[in-house]
Amino acid sequence: MLRRFAAASRSSAKLVAPLGCLVSRQKHTLPDLPYDYGALEPHINAEIMQLHHSKHHATYVNNLNVAEEKYKEALAKGDVTTQVSLQPALKFNGGGHINHTIFWTNLSPNGGGEPKGELMEAIKRDFGSFANFKEKLTAVSVGVQGSGWGWLGYNKEQGRLQIAACANQDPLQGTTGLIPLLGIDVWEHAYYLQYKNVRPDYLKAIWNVINWGMYLQDMQLAKSRVEFLHRLLKCHQFYSDTTLVVPVAYK
- Burial, 30: exposed, middle or buried (Cβ in 10 Å; 0-12, 13-18, 19+)? middle
Is 100 a known ligand-binding residue?
Answer: yes
229 Cα distance to chain centroid: 9
Tell whether residue 185 is among the known ligand binding residues: yes
Strands (E), the chain: 13-15, 148-155, 160-167, 179-185, 239-241, 244-246, 248-250
Return the closest-CA partner of residue 229 out of 12, 67, 55, 1. 12
Cβ atoms of residues 174 and 149 within 8 Å: no
Q: For residues 133 and 139, what is the distance between their CA atoms, to the nearest angstrom?
A: 10
Indicate the SS3 state at residue 164.
strand
* Binding site, annotated residues for Mn(2+): 52, 100, 185, 189
Q: Which residues are annotated as a binding site?
A: 52, 100, 185, 189
